[in-house]
Structure 1
């Protein structure tokens, strides 16, 4: 069976069996309510991979529709920063909804209680689109779910 690589006009990320920013936020909301931050991060990262593979203007536009909240301002900022970074990396303008204020305190996803030496190493390699939102996370961490 051949894999479909083209989608019909008017198709959506959902109809293409791909995650959008909206579906990543919705799934993350449920996962975070269950305390599963690791899987929430995986869903956000997986959605970025799906964005990279959205092969039509319709799919790209559908991916970039503003999502609802994940239920946690940190995760909302992470999704916004990650989508902004990926959009720019793909040559698309970052949507307006990704322009969120920085978090009040620095946050390192899935790394609570890390020592100063490790945090300094993470900061050195952190992605600027996330650092400006006060999130310490590298680009390589957004490439693999």
Structure 2
């Protein structure tokens, strides 16, 4: 009889490793997959998916995005951001969705964890159906 491996949700550290060397289209699909898995985990277990610091992706903007995402998700569950996320911030603003409408939407609706790091992405871009 074949042994099956138990399901394990993606961690943020694993997401970071998968983002390295990927193009932006694939990166957003991976982020959506992570968020989908994260939302289905019991709230008491979600923090463990954020604890381990992701290795650098090779792109500072995405490294900071991961820190903002960790803080944002932890805050939604009533927890502090993981320690590793505290020091990651951009010196110049980044608008991942860089159209005029997306920029306005992001300036108005970016979650605090993203704004304070210089990453302007609207909250609805982080929602998974």
| Distance of 2:6 and 2:49 partners within structure 1 | 11
| Distance of 2:117 and 2:65 partners within structure 1 | 8
Q: Determine if contact 1:102/1:133 at 8 Å carries over to the other structure.
A: yes
Structure 2 residue 83 is the aligned partner of structure 1 residue 96? yes
Structure 2 residue 18 is the aligned partner of structure 1 residue 27? yes
TM-score of the superposed pair, with normalisation by structure 2: 0.81
| Distance of 2:67 and 2:46 partners within structure 1 | 18
Unaligned 5+ runs, structure 1: 1-13
Comparing 15-24 and 128-137, the one that deviates more? 15-24
Comparing 99-108 and 44-53, the one that deviates more? 44-53
How many residue pairs end up in the alignment?
A: 125
TM-score of the superposed pair, with normalisation by structure 1: 0.73
Comparing 130-139 and 50-59, the one that deviates more? 50-59
Structure 2 residue 45 is the aligned partner of structure 1 residue 61? no
Paired position in structure 1 for 2:108: 124
Paired position in structure 1 for 2:118: 134
Compute the displacement of 1:68 (Å).
Answer: 0.8
Q: How large is the RMSD of aligned CA atoms in angstroms?
A: 2.4
Structure 1 stretches of 4+ moved >4 Å: 56-59
Structure 2 residue 71 is the aligned partner of structure 1 residue 84? yes
Paired position in structure 1 for 2:94: 107
| Distance of 1:56 and 1:119 partners within structure 2 | 32
Paired position in structure 2 for 1:3: none
Q: Determine if contact 2:35/2:128 at 8 Å carries over to the other structure.
A: no
Unaligned 5+ runs, structure 2: none
